[in-house]
Amino acid sequence: MPALARVVAPLAGVIVAVALFAATRGLDDVARGEQLGPGFWPRLVLIGLGLASAAKLVENLRRAAPNDHAVARAGAAGLGGVRRGTLLLAIATIVLYVALTPWLGFPLVTVGFVAAFMMLLAGARSPVAIGAAAVLGTVGLLYVFVKLVYLPLPKGDGAFETMTLALYRGLGIF
């Protein structure tokens, strides 16, 4: 791969992160008191994007151009060992998660998503480990996003909203 091609994408990532970070200036105008403003998480993600892109840029600049044999081997590997069926299943799981969350609510769909991802895609076999990771991970996310960051997550419709609110009260989030 030519040196220019190895530099363009990471450099574009740094430029986009800096430009978007500058565009978040006015997001915190509506923040109240000691609460994190609406610009906190976008800025955090943009800092991560900028740092990751800068690290990749430095790595690519330090790396010597690969020889023809290495390029041929990389091309033969295709997706780097990722099976297309597994990739499609992962994408379908994520799309289903996004589609069901507004209807069923964040807590229920997240528990199911984490469990499904662990079983179907990560190869986890222990029901206890899968259940514990799904439930504890979801509760942790609820505390971080709802209690600490004040981010309203989808509660679901009808009975699912009632269930979510009861869970929030039981966990002391509301």
Tokens of residue 145, six digits? 């996003």
Range of the domain at 116: 84-171
Asked if residue 97 and residue 40 are part of one domain, the reply reads no
How many angstroms separate the CA atoms of 63 and 47, rounded?
24
Asked if residue 116 and residue 65 are part of one domain, the reply reads no
List, for residues 96-136, the tens digit of each pLDDT value.
999 999 999 999 999 999 999 999 888 899 999 999 999 99
Asked if residue 166 and residue 91 are part of one domain, the reply reads yes
Asked if residue 90 and residue 34 are part of one domain, the reply reads no
**Sequence-ordered list of residues with C-beta below 8 angstroms from that of 7, at least 6 positions apart, any chain:** 57, 60, 61
Residue 156: Cβ within 10 Å count: 22
Mean pLDDT of 56-68: 76
Among residues 31, 60, 77, which one ends one of the domains? 77
Asked if residue 54 and residue 99 are part of one domain, the reply reads no
Asked if residue 51 and residue 8 are part of one domain, the reply reads yes
How many angstroms separate the CA atoms of 57 and 80, rounded?
21
Asked if residue 59 and residue 9 are part of one domain, the reply reads yes
Among residues 49, 77, 105, which one ends one of the domains? 77
Please tell me the total count of domains within the chain: 2
**Which amino acid is present at 95?**
V
pLDDT at 11: 93
pLDDT for residue 142 is more than 80: yes
List, for residues 143-172, the tens digit of each pLDDT value.
998 988 778 899 999 999 999 999 999 999
- Assign 58 a pLDDT band (cuts: 50, 70, 90): very high
Higher-confidence residue: 20 or 41? 20
pLDDT at 118: 94
Residue 104: Cβ within 10 Å count: 22
Tokens of residue 88, six digits? 């499609």
**Which amino acid is present at 17?**
A
